[in-house]
Amino acid sequence: MDGQMKREGKGNAAALLPIIVFLVIFIGAGCVFQDFYSMPAIVGFLIALAVAFFQNRGLSFDGKIKVISRGAGDENIITMLLIFLAAGAFSGAVSAAGGASSAVNLGLSVLPPDILVVGLFLVSCFVSVSMGTSMGTIAALAPIANGISQTAGMNLAICIGAVVSGAMFGDNLSMISDTTIAAVKTQGCEMKDKFRANFLIVLPAAVVTCIVYFIATMNEPTPAVQEYEYQFLQVIPYLIVLIGALIGINVFLVLISGTVLSLIVGVATGEIAVSQIFTVMGDGVTSMYDITVISLIVACIVSLVREYGGIQYLLELIHGKIQTAKGAQLGIAGLAFLVDMATANNTVAIVITGPIAKEISTSFGVDPKRSASLLDIFTSVGQGLIPYGAQLLSAATLTGLTPFAIIPYTFYPILMGVSVLLILLLQKNQPFQKGGREA
């Protein structure tokens, strides 16, 4: 095979070395120097990419370039990068127009002071379900969370943790989310059926998350009851984006429309000079450069890991240990979680694991809507917890925190995983032989 370890062939555990190297360097440097900024994520990923290039000498340098070019040029990766930039332009424009500060003050005016973080979580849930993108949700709400933290004197990490948690709620539930579409298509079920099954599983986790945030912030300082100044006109771009996404308009059209409307409002209210309209958009786009470049490098690393057999190794590890229908569902969950940990992209993880999950569900009699839900849920669980995932990196970039400062407060992804595991463990075990015949 000319020295190449194709993903259709035998898995290779050594192919996971670049990801292990990144984790050791990134986490190790942060622990040693007690500062996770001592090792910029992009530097760690570049080192990991170099390690990947030194592996598998049977594949030429030019061949490896072709592999990473295909990986970086994947439709899902390009779409994600463009969403980053579009969301950055919207965030820059709406913030310059006064939308962020007005939305913060409006939220402070409407929400009781003692449930601000719970409110952030609920608003983030609504936004993410409406827009179908966790990244767009974080880009839109992180500045608001930052403003609430500064105004109320609350812990910024728990505020942004609530935003990330809500973002992951919609990422695996929204009917216009690319992860939902990928899960449904690979498992062969209807969108509405998957939504119902998914919603019943995650609803308990969402309710418990609200309770946990309420308890966790009981002793946090709250602002005194007062009148907060805001201009409703400046909040309209946010509402247009939410309503547009809710009725199913393409996320790019929604973000572009929101950007244009923000500029018009900014000029009309005197917050933005006509000569600054391109500058404020550029500032917003520039703020997303780091996460865009990091995502591109991660896509390159993953493409080489997949080519060398690392992803296949993970698939074989889980597939070979399944004995029952319950085990099949746990296997699909574990498969989705591990591949997301390896790829740092839940859409890509679903695309990779979907065919194997379909084979497992068919062989062991698992309902397609259940397997689709498991894929979507557990890739979101992983994506909401890994420090090198786009969501946490974006949240950290927008707030000046580190991913590790946010993770302890992302309660929802953890509770979502616990909710599913409890449902599976309480489910009656039904042994099946491969081929779908009951044992």
Domain count, the chain: 1
Does residue 161 belong to any structural domain of this protein? yes
Instruction: Select the more confidently predicted residue: 205 or 176.
Output: 205
**If pLDDT is split at 50, 70 and 90, which confidence band does 433 have?**
very low
**If pLDDT is split at 50, 70 and 90, which confidence band does 439 have?**
very low
User: Rounded mean pLDDT of the chain?
Assistant: 80
Residue range 326-341: average pLDDT? 85
Does residue 208 have a pLDDT over 90?
A: yes
CB atoms near residue 351 (< 10 Å): 22
Q: Poorest-confidence range of 103-107, 232-236, 297-301, 400-404?
A: 103-107
Instruction: Select the more confidently predicted residue: 418 or 146.
Output: 418
Which residues fall within 8 angstroms of residue 337, CB to CB, at 6 or more apart?
Answer: 378, 379, 381, 382, 417
For 438, phi and psi rounded to 5 degrees?
A: -70, 135
- Cα–Cα distance for residue pair 105/141, rounded to 1 Å: 13
- Cα–Cα distance for residue pair 73/66, rounded to 1 Å: 10
Burial of 115 (0-12, 13-18, 19+ CB in 10 A): middle
Does residue 33 belong to any structural domain of this protein? no
Does residue 39 belong to any structural domain of this protein? no
pLDDT at 146: 83
In which domain, by residue range, is 273 found? 76-177+188-289
Which residues fall within 8 angstroms of residue 247, CB to CB, at 6 or more apart?
Answer: none
pLDDT at 237: 83
**If pLDDT is split at 50, 70 and 90, which confidence band does 226 have?**
low
Q: How many residues does the chain have?
A: 439
**If pLDDT is split at 50, 70 and 90, which confidence band does 356 have?**
confident
Does residue 158 belong to any structural domain of this protein? yes
Q: What is the dihedral of CA 220, 226, 229, 233, to 10 degrees?
A: 80
pLDDT in tens, 59-72: 899 999 999 999 88
Give the ranges where 11-155 is alpha helix by DSSP (H).
17-33, 41-54, 61-72, 75-96, 99-110, 116-131, 134-152
Does residue 81 belong to any structural domain of this protein? yes
**If pLDDT is split at 50, 70 and 90, which confidence band does 43 have?**
confident
CB atoms near residue 431 (< 10 Å): 12
Does residue 186 have a pLDDT over 80?
A: no
For the chain, the first-to-last Cα distance in angstroms comes to: 40
- Cα–Cα distance for residue pair 93/91, rounded to 1 Å: 6
CB burial string 154-172: b at 16+ within 10 A, e below? bbbbbbbbbbbbbbbbbbb
pLDDT at 430: 54
Does residue 413 belong to any structural domain of this protein? no
Q: Poorest-confidence range of 24-38, 65-79, 249-263, 322-336?
A: 24-38
Contact present, 383 and 172 (Cβ < 8 Å) = no
